[in-house]
Amino acid sequence: MEPMTMNIPVLALRGLTVFPHMTLTFDVERPISITALERAMEADQEIFLVTQREIGVNAPAEKDLYEVGTVSHISQILRLSANSVRVMVEGRYRARLRRLWQTEPFLQANVETLAEEEASEAFRRSPRTEALLRQTWNLFSEYAELAGSVPDEVITTVMDCRDVGYLADFITQNIALRHTDKQEILEEMAPFIRLRKLNGFLARECNVLGFEHEMEGKVRDQLARSQRDQILRTQIRVLQNELGEGEDADDEIDTYRQKIMALELGEDVQKHLLKEVNKLSKQPFGSAEGAVIRNYLDVCLEMPWNTYTKERVSVDAARKVLEKDHFGLEKVKERILETIAVRQMNPEGKGQIICLVGPPGVGKTSIAISVAKALNRKLARISLGGVRDEADIRGHRKTYIGSMPGRIIEAISRSGSMNPLLLLDEIDKLGNDYRGDPASALLEVLDSEQNYAFRDHFLEIPVDLSKVMFITTANTSDTIPRPLLDRMEIIQLSSYTDEEKVQIARRHLLPKQMEEHGLKKGSVRIGDDVLRAIIRDYTRESGVRLLERRLAAVCRKADMRLLTGGVKRIAVTEKDLPKLLDCQPYPPALHTEKEETGVVNGLAWTEAGGEILEVEVNVMDGSGKLELTGNLGDVMKESAQAALSCLRSRAAVLGIEADFYKTKDIHVHFPEGAVPKDGPSAGIAVTTAMLSALTGRKVKAGVAMTGEVTLRGRVLPIGGLKEKTMAALRNHIGTVLIPKDNVRDLEEIDQTVRAALRFVPVETVDQVFAEALCPETEPLREEPAGHVAAFAPISRENVGGGALRQ
């Protein structure tokens, strides 16, 4: 057939391909397609059938149609309804779409006929052609066997056909191939290549069908197995019903299964729990093993899997909550707010592990509770004080009698969400014994790199703790094992200043105690001077617990007076305190206002805050013994030895007899001998007291000092300056000598304390002596024979050293 062009109506096919010399029936619904059919019927009953590239396009343009289609003859049209037509067409020859020049009201195009290659007789009879035909027959037979839906007449036609081109078209038209594959066969003009391509498609379809049959077989086997299990279970249920123990157990098993499936856990966890349910279903009624499995499943299902509370990460909201609940602690609040700011910038970040370290009663636990409130997280508190068993953290194996999960899993279950704030209280009080080390068990819990799959011994399934925020509290970090401490970020909480305590009492403690004691606002008046007196004379602590108890005592007495005294208002004054709170348990220090020889006010740090630590030195004739008393630790004893060696090395300069260490006994005593004392920070106080006692020179009144001394007379820095300076102010000290290296710590000190005290930074003991000792020389007393009390006066001009007024 010679190539020619023609203008012809076009019918766009969706998911369908028509081949030459094939008859096909299909339904037409689109208005443009029905109009094209009507137009073709008016003319010569020929129409160009071409497939759309995309099935979903309703109004196809030229780009939406393939180039090659089939010019077909319309054999029959049957109208099914107003909008639907069934048409039978007979394919005539292939044609190429040159231009779609009309899209409304129907498609019309200019098409060019395509001439098929004609094979010679020799080519048709060649062995190569025979081999291709045989391959096609074999593949088609295999396909027909696997598909099972190929009509017999199609199989017969294929087996009798020897025309390569027609065979390719016929098979493609009558089997289920993708429309893209059919289009590829339609576009191939060479008959031999067309059939070879079809054979490739047939081989692929046979493989696919083979896999489908294999999968169907497996599904059928599985169904048969499950039906068999179901029949057996039904028989078991009938037998159990006959024995009176059936329905409840079966309902319980189904309930467990439904709950596990509803949780939508990971595949491994779900498989593990369903395995336990299957074990339970096989247990006889009332068995001990069944009770263990029930308990295990109940604990697992009570866990708040996939339940998360929506976190409120707002720095401003958190600041308001912290400011409302706590006064002071500015650095701690700032650090907590920084943590919340990080959460705000990166909500998907890992949970943080913070350790609040500070003395008792300064608000560590209440800060953690405020953080949970600010973040809108559930709070669960775990007290670790005295925990000695590793199983308390990790849980017991479920095979033991009375076994249960560890405290971490129990706290998460109690909180009701997988992202709570867990408060691990008193982590420094963990013990250990033959049952294991609970601190080591916490290493995995408190490591954000490992705790995404924490395995409790009881649960035996991984629990993600990476979204949990941990806050731990401790009074000291010294007793926390180093590897555990390394996993936490330490935030130090120092003790409150007296002024901070006044504000806390005024804003928080007093209103709370008045409410608890039924006192109306204004019925009891306590001024700030009274609060200061209570803090100074009736409490000795770093926190505010004892202060709260003292205020509770005042409120109790006020309740009694209001009920029995016939008064409506009570104004508490400082003079009333001895009646309300009995005698002062902490009277002011004795030696702060007098100039004495051999008595120096040192400053000490204790867990309850700062203290004045007096040092007394007595010098007596003897054989050079050094006596140290007052319940001293090894470091303090060595510090006194260093002070003595320092004085011996400077004996000539300081005006001390050169052989005093042979002829004099020196007794160093720290009063309050029942209280243990240790540390090097009393070094300059001991040195000054020794020099004062050896030379008879008095120590200035109202002076206190702290600093470590070396053999060469250098003054080294110490810790706890904030608490020590508060103790100095409380005891009416005016001047405080501090090591020069501690000047930077003055920034941390309360402004009230800095304004009230005169701080003198010192680098050497010479500066200490010049500042602390009275300048005038005492008159020489009558001494026993052989004793000369030579003393060279020390002036501040000779030694140097200046005062730093803060």
CATH 3.30.230.10 is right for the domain spanning 599-805: yes
Q: What beta strand segments (E) does 642-718 contain?
A: 664-669, 703-705, 708-709, 715-716
* Distance separating alpha carbons of residues 110 and 255, to the nearest angstrom: 69
761's enclosing H/E stretch is strand 758-762
Low-confidence spans in the chain with pLDDT less than 70: 1-2, 119-121, 123-124, 240-241, 243-250, 285-286, 351, 587-592, 607-608, 776-806
Which CATH number is correct for 315-492, 3.40.50.300, 3.30.420.10, 3.40.50.2300, 1.20.1280.50? 3.40.50.300
What is residue 759's predicted lDDT score, i.e. its pLDDT?
Answer: 92
Query: What are the angstrom distances between the C-alpha of 166 and each of 159, 192, 194, 203, 307?
Result: 12, 10, 10, 19, 65
Angular region, 609: left φ>0, alpha ψ -120 to 50, beta rest:
left
Angular region, 244: left φ>0, alpha ψ -120 to 50, beta rest:
left
Catalytic positions, written as ranges = 681, 724
* Distance separating alpha carbons of residues 177 and 174, to the nearest angstrom: 9
- Cross-strand partners of 381: 423
What is residue 709's predicted lDDT score, i.e. its pLDDT?
Answer: 92
Query: What are the angstrom distances between the C-alpha of 783 and each of 621, 657, 666, 688, 732?
Result: 11, 13, 17, 23, 37
Which CATH number is correct for 124-205, 3.40.190.10, 1.20.1300.10, 1.20.58.1480, 3.40.50.1820? 1.20.58.1480
**Coil, helix or strand for 346?**
coil
What is residue 522's predicted lDDT score, i.e. its pLDDT?
Answer: 80
What is residue 266's predicted lDDT score, i.e. its pLDDT?
Answer: 80
40-63: pLDDT as tens digits: 888 778 888 888 888 888 788 888
With CA atoms as reference, report the closest residue to 763 among 736, 737, 792, 796: 737
CB under 8 Å to 758, separation ≥6 — which residues?
A: 734, 735, 736, 803, 804, 805, 806
* Distance separating alpha carbons of residues 559 and 568, to the nearest angstrom: 11
* Distance separating alpha carbons of residues 692 and 129, to the nearest angstrom: 126
Domain boundaries along the sequence of the chain: 5-113, 124-205, 245-302, 315-492, 498-531+547-581, 599-805
107's enclosing H/E stretch is strand 107-113
In this structure, the strands spanning 421-425 and 379-383 are parallel
Q: Domain 498-531+547-581 carries which CATH code?
A: 1.10.8.60
Span 5-113 CATH architecture = Roll (2.30)
**Coil, helix or strand for 446?**
coil
CB 75 within 8 A of CB 23: yes
Burial 199-211 (b: 16+ CB within 10 A, else e): bebbeebbeebee
For residue 99 the two structure tokens come to 């231009």
